Structure 1
Amino acid sequence: MPSQAGRCAVVTGATSGIGYEAALALAGAGAEIILAARDAAKSERAMASIRRRHPGARLAFQPLDTARLASVRAFGERWQSEGRPIDILLLNAGIATVPNREATEDGFERQLGTNYLGHFALTGLLLPFVRQDAASRIVEVASLAHRPGRIHFDDLQLARSYGPQRAYRQSKLAMLMFGLELDRRLKAAGSPIRSVPAHPGAARTDVFRRGDRAGPVQRLAGHAIFSVIGQSAAQGALPLLFAATAPEAEGGAYYGPDGIWELKGHPTRADIAAHARDKGTAERLWSVSEALTGIRCAV
């Protein structure tokens, strides 16, 4: 990884799993890390852990719950008041396989709201502060689950047809399509900022093992399966770090592990399902997301 000295990285969901590992690595390379997370106590523990590895690390906690638009707006307002430039915006926070349908306070299906809509809104609020530089990156954490996923415009909040995996797949497909569409719009506007989606493969993380919304069956299954076929959270973070820092990482490309079925390994170009490349669907999703969040993501 190139030196990240003098750079600022905002990492959502940085208290555990691949978000923590990415924050740890970026801090070790010299970046200032803003841990954007829900839990202040967990954030303090994460920062203490990072400082044990990197005593000189520059770290700060900023409260953010991507499942609550009020929290996203408050984060954006605080950032606007400071006016600080951002070099890396790593959109990582997420939950998976919520067993029964839940709605956020904004009326969104919880996985779509947490994994995608909150991040769409956050990007819209922070994009004016992302440094206009070729080294600046916005990294959207997608998943292998995007492949069987579909955007259900006729029932986007899955009020009629909820299923834990159906919801997760839709949210991660939305993240990937957002990342690809954002890069298209950045290029069309002549911006040097790169939007580079990535996925961690089958990483052993809290999102399945002990996520606060995952049921006991999902936690047990996730732990058992990922223990056999998966890789560590630190290894899973490598495609995210490559997307965020490698000079050769291309905007609009997608990165993941190089092993069989992209389950584990080292960073390489990942496969994008054909339906994830559909520009018409991406543009419609963008418009719907702006309408739902009330936040314009203007490029």
Structure 2
Amino acid sequence: MASSSKWTASDIPAQSGRIAIVTGANTGLGLATAKALAGHGAHVVLAVRDTEKGKRAADEITAEHPDATVTLQSLDLGSLRSVRAAAEALKAEFPRIDLLINNAGVMYPPKQTTEDGFELAFGTNHLGHFALTGLLLENLLPVPGSRVVTVSSVGHRIQAAIHFDDLQWERSYSRVGAYGQSKLANLLFTYELQRRLDAAETIAVAAHPGLSNTELMRHLHLPSAFNPLIGLVAQSPAMGALPTLRAATDPGVRGGQYYGPGGLGETRGYPKLVGSSSQSHDLDLARRLWTVSEELTGVTFPVG
């Protein structure tokens, strides 16, 4: 086992017999996460919006790990109809689920809404995953060592607040603010879910990838002169996925913890336990967000 300061994918314990569902697993961090779990024996379900890209991702995983078991599940987190359909299918196929990795996300998109009229970042990054977790949780609860891992971001500190007076940014729109709100919501959700799980077999954990060179960067619209700089600072998807993989598999992980890169302002490096903003630990904020999320999605959890 590596020292805790140099935890890598080779430190993932055997995952044989475990079912791992990874959202947004057809590219970037999600694909790197799925690939590492499959390589250690997990049956990985790629829960993806674009099933053609999903098939290519599955082929890439099995080319690298010929014995891997990989299946596809259509999932559009921007549609509660799709989330419910995916949850029904997954619950029927997998009576026991070991890992749910809420990885998919959008970053700094132009102003858009989901099928249900939610602002895109909040609707996809938070509400879609909130609903999916609530609908799948009863298949995780009886499973010893099961985990819900939700991917947040250092962006949860930047212009971040939960705008209860205008959650969907209908009055004004800030790409940075909307993303910050969604990533703060990911942490408030994780910590509140852990409190509600209490003595359950399942734990809720969060992670963030630091600065990773993935498709998420496409909406940054930086001048081309910045491209070499991003290339120098940003780490590979394989490195960016390590905090998620550690949160998902390290036997020493406890519920309510948060993992991120250990170097250079948490932008890069090997995964370690990190802290989050004081706002993310606000109990009243978390409870209010939970109640609003239940109302907006129509999903209630079988805990707490």
Structure 1-normalised TM-score? 0.94
Q: Is the 8 A contact 1:208 1:223 kept in 2?
A: no
Shift of 1:223: 4.9
- Indicate the residue corresponding to 2:247 in structure 1: 243
Shift of 1:224: 5.2
Structure 2 unmatched ranges of 5 or more: 1-11
Q: Structure 1 residues 15, 263: CA separation in 2 closer, same or farther (over 3 Å shift)? A: same
Q: How does 1:170-189 map to 2 (within 5 A)?
A: 170-187=181-198
Q: Is the 8 A contact 2:141 2:201 kept in 1?
A: no
Indicate which of 275, 284, 295 corresponds to 2:299: 295
Q: Is the 8 A contact 1:97 1:218 kept in 2?
A: no
Q: Determine if the alignment matches structure 1 residue 194 to structure 2 residue 198.
A: no
Give the residue type in structure 1 aligned to 2:207: A
Shift of 1:132: 2.8
Indicate which of 274, 278, 285 corresponds to 2:282: 278
Shift of 1:54: 0.2
Q: Is the 8 A contact 2:141 2:200 kept in 1?
A: no
Give the residue type in structure 2 aligned to 1:9: A
Give the residue type in structure 2 aligned to 1:259: G
Q: Is the 8 A contact 1:65 1:71 kept in 2?
A: yes
Indicate which of 44, 47, 60 corresponds to 1:49: 60
- Aligned equivalents of 1:223 and 1:243: distance in 2? 30
Shift of 1:278: 0.1
Structure 1 unmatched ranges of 5 or more: none
Give the residue type in structure 2 aligned to 1:91: N
Cα distance per residue 1:6-56 (max 9 Å; x no partner): 000000000001100000000000000000001111011001100111001
Count of residues paired in the alignment: 291
Shift of 1:133: 4.0
Choose 102-111 or 20-29, whichever is displaced more.
Answer: 102-111
Q: Structure 1 residues 199, 84: CA separation in 2 closer, same or farther (over 3 Å shift)? A: same
Give the residue type in structure 2 aligned to 1:21: A
Q: How does 1:47-196 map to 2 (within 5 A)?
A: 47-99=58-110, 101-148=111-158, 149-187=160-198, 190-196=199-205
- Aligned equivalents of 1:83 and 1:44: distance in 2? 20
Q: Is the 8 A contact 1:235 1:266 kept in 2?
A: yes
Q: Is the 8 A contact 2:97 2:143 kept in 1?
A: no
Give the residue type in structure 1 aligned to 2:122: L
Q: Structure 1 residues 222, 167: CA separation in 2 closer, same or farther (over 3 Å shift)? A: farther
- Aligned equivalents of 1:137 and 1:152: distance in 2? 29
Question: Aligned with 1:76: secondary structure?
Answer: helix
- Aligned equivalents of 1:76 and 1:4: distance in 2? 22
Q: Is the 8 A contact 1:87 1:131 kept in 2?
A: no
Q: Determine if the alignment matches structure 1 residue 13 to structure 2 residue 17.
A: no
* Cα RMSD, aligned residues only: 1.6
- Aligned equivalents of 1:183 and 1:104: distance in 2? 28
Shift of 1:270: 1.1
- Aligned equivalents of 2:299 and 2:123: distance in 1? 14
Indicate which of 214, 219, 231 corresponds to 1:227: 231
Shift of 1:244: 0.2
Give the residue type in structure 2 aligned to 1:117: L
Cα distance per residue 1:199-255 (max 9 Å; x no partner): 00001111113xxxx37x259698555323211110000000000000001110100
Give the residue type in structure 2 aligned to 1:6: G
Percent of residue pairs bearing the same amino acid type: 48
- Aligned equivalents of 2:149 and 2:78: distance in 1? 19
Shift of 1:131: 4.6
- Aligned equivalents of 1:247 and 1:3: distance in 2? 11
- Indicate the residue corresponding to 2:41 in structure 1: 30
Runs of 4+ in 1 over 4 A off after TM superposition: 218-225
- Aligned equivalents of 1:21 and 1:250: distance in 2? 23
Cα distance per residue 1:118-177 (max 9 Å; x no partner): 000000100001153442110000000001211111111011121111111100110111
Cα distance per residue 1:167-188 (max 9 Å; x no partner): 111001101110111011101x
Q: Is the 8 A contact 1:199 1:255 kept in 2?
A: yes
Indicate which of 244, 263, 273 corresponds to 1:269: 273
